[in-house]
Amino acid sequence: MLLFGKTFVKNPCLFAALKKNLFSLRNNPSHRFINLSQKTIIEPHMEDIIIIGGGAVGAFIARNLSRYDCDVLVIEKENDVGDATSMANSAIVHSGYDPVPGTKKARFNVEGNRMFPLLSEELDVEFEPCGSLTLATEESQLPMLEELYKRGQENGVPVEILTPEQVLALEPNVTKDVKGALRCPTAGIINPFTLVAHAFENAIDNGVKLHLGEEVKDIHNLGDRFEVITSKGAYQAKMVINAAGVASEQIAKMIEDVPWSIHARKGEYFVLDHFAPNFVNHVLFPLPSEKGKGVLVTHTTSGNYLVGPSSEWVDDKDDTSTDSPTLEAVRASALTMVPNIPFRQQIRTFAGLRSTPSTHDFIIEPSKAAPNFINVAGIESPGLVSSPAIGKYVAEELVAPKLGLKEKANYNPRVRKYVCVHKLSQEGKERLVAENPHFGEMICNCEKISLGEIEDVLSRSLPALTIKAIKKRTRAGFGKCQGGFCQPKVLFLLAKKLGVSPMEVLYDREGSEILDKESK
């Protein structure tokens, strides 16, 4: 395991690279760095597989491939993994009652759902199989509930229809006008940030390489291999997997003119503080429509509440802005299901983009022009829950047989256990702090995140290079003060770890420094 900070100190060429393109990670010592007029060029190194995209799909393909004896490189354009669609979604482990039977969505959703109990344990990710209720609030919707019930059964998902009395007994805050609900006990909620991060950590622990802050610019099909040109260098690989989310159409077209397209569909949300436990206990959905699953109300694994998303087509595949009329409509829609949502507990609004495919189903197939180039595109909802099953399928069925990969004897499916101080018993806290006093020093007061927890994240094989990365891994800065008190502490810890000036520490993307200059 090579730590980022150590790499930095030992490698003066990397320092130049960092100055120019802060925070790119190279943890493959076989690469040779050549510093030419401030540009870092890397001599092509032959990989077995290059994965483009460090989201949930890329994470689980990488993790599944790390079970085999092969060289895998993941290239992500953002400065952290899971920094786009995988970070800004409803964080639901859907049961799978909703996709049309026979589709890839139905298959991978149901398969993925079944993987979560073990997966969440291996990767130490917060997961609650809390179940979902899809609510009918008008008599006219009851036939549709029946329809969904049948669809659920066809997909092999446990479902039952509840009476209004049963619904209100389970969820007293739901509207008294409720006419019935479809209950899916196998639905759940997951921490989407650590799901992706820990999957990558596990993949890296098992030998996968990850390059952050590096954008793929072009791909050349050389017949027996591919050359991938990025913003920082060139690489060669026997196989390339396109898991580039909203950019996957653009990446696919570097190889051939594909017959499908990917459009960005924006979803805007409210996040509420953890003002009370059990305000809602299930994921509450309205009945789905053409535009998707509609505005849901759910608790999150951190005890917050999430209300959203909207559904709007956007041209700019980087447009995650929010706007008042849309959020107002989200609010109004949610209030029809749960009339007393305390919106004054709002601590954040955000938006994410879905990669919606023109085919209406996930695209998981080799390119026609180049069979060793695999597109994994259009992974919109239920993408998060499907990603572990997609990763398994791509690795086992599409890659391993083609490259004749052999399973490793020493593959370890587990990440090192994470510590969460505030979830421990009093005795547990006492023991932990006695062992390592840093777990007793609170950095984030709102979410009760200790110095020890942040240091732990900074010591892992998966780098946390930005303030937002630390926020996503630990929740420091996620609370009601939104980092007002803890951000400076995190910033200075990060500067020390990375060996850079506090003024070079990034919030997220390149150019997102928090500090401008020293005071007079």
Provide the mask over 271-310, with x wherever binding to other proteins is found by CB under 8 A and - wherever it is not. Answer: x---x-----------------------------------
For 299, the 3-state DSSP assignment is strand
Instruction: Tell me the closest approach of the beta carbon of residue 517 to other proteins, in angstroms.
Output: 5
Instruction: Tell me the closest approach of the beta carbon of residue 273 to other proteins, in angstroms.
Output: 9
Instruction: Tell me the closest approach of the beta carbon of residue 489 to other proteins, in angstroms.
Output: 10
The span of 29-37, 132-140, 279-287, 503-511 binding other proteins (CB under 8 A) equals 503-511
For 144, the 3-state DSSP assignment is helix
Alpha-carbon distances of 219 from 9, 99, 370, 398, 399, rounded to whole Å: 33, 34, 12, 20, 19
Q: From the candidates 31, 94, 198, 263, which is the catalytic residue?
A: 94
Considering only CA atoms, which of 91, 186, 80 is closest in space to residue 133?
A: 186
Q: Using the rule CB under 8 A, is 210 a contact of other proteins?
A: no
Q: Cα(160)–Cα(282) distance, rounded to whole angstroms?
A: 14
Provide the mask over 304-343, with x wherever binding to other proteins is found by CB under 8 A and - wherever it is not. Answer: --------------x-xxxxx--x----------------
Considering only CA atoms, which of 378, 350, 267, 270 is closest in space to residue 312?
A: 267
Q: Which of 141, 185, 433, 504 binds other proteins (CB under 8 A)?
A: 433
Residue 369 makes CB contacts below 8 A (sequence gap 6+) with 221, 255, 256
Instruction: Tell me the closest approach of the beta carbon of residue 415 to other proteins, in angstroms.
Output: 25
Residue among 6 and 431 whose Cβ is closer to other proteins: 431
Q: Using the rule CB under 8 A, is 432 a contact of other proteins?
A: yes
Considering only CA atoms, which of 333, 249, 261 is closest in space to residue 291?
A: 333
Q: Cα(327)–Cα(56) distance, rounded to whole angstroms?
A: 26
Which ranges constitute the DSSP H helices of 338-466?
Answer: 383-393, 400-403, 426-435, 451-458
For residues 16 and 35, is the Cβ–Cβ distance under 8 A? yes
Instruction: Tell me the closest approach of the beta carbon of residue 309 to other proteins, in angstroms.
Output: 14
Residue among 320 and 356 whose Cβ is closer to other proteins: 320
Residue among 388 and 483 whose Cβ is closer to other proteins: 483
Q: Using the rule CB under 8 A, is 260 a contact of other proteins?
A: no
- Name the pairing type of β-strands 46-52 and 72-75: parallel
Residue 244 makes CB contacts below 8 A (sequence gap 6+) with 52, 53, 216, 250, 251, 377
Provide the mask over 446-485, with x wherever binding to other proteins is found by CB under 8 A and - wherever it is not. Answer: x-x-x-----------------------------xxxxxx
Q: Which of 231, 250, 340, 512 binds other proteins (CB under 8 A)?
A: 512
Alpha-carbon distances of 92 from 86, 244, 282, rounded to whole Å: 11, 21, 11
Residue among 85 and 113 whose Cβ is closer to other proteins: 85
Residues 77 to 136 in contact with other proteins, rule: CB under 8 A:
none
Q: Using the rule CB under 8 A, is 224 a contact of other proteins?
A: no
Residue 173 makes CB contacts below 8 A (sequence gap 6+) with 279, 280, 338, 340
Residues 165 to 184 in contact with other proteins, rule: CB under 8 A:
none
Q: Using the rule CB under 8 A, is 420 a contact of other proteins?
A: no
Which ranges constitute the DSSP H helices of 357-448?
Answer: 383-393, 400-403, 426-435
**Cα radius of gyration (the chain):** 23
Residue among 398 and 421 whose Cβ is closer to other proteins: 421
The span of 61-69, 115-123, 255-263, 344-352 binding other proteins (CB under 8 A) equals 344-352
Residue 46, judged by CB atoms within 10 A of its CB (0-12, 13-18, 19+), counts as exposed
Catalytic residue list contains 274: no
Instruction: For residue 346, list its beta bridge partners.
Output: 272
Give catalytic residues, as residue numbers: 94
Site residues (vs other proteins, CB under 8 A): 270-271, 275, 318, 320-324, 327, 346-350, 421-422, 426, 429-430, 432-434, 437-438, 440-442, 445-446, 448, 450, 480-485, 487-488, 492, 502-503, 506-520
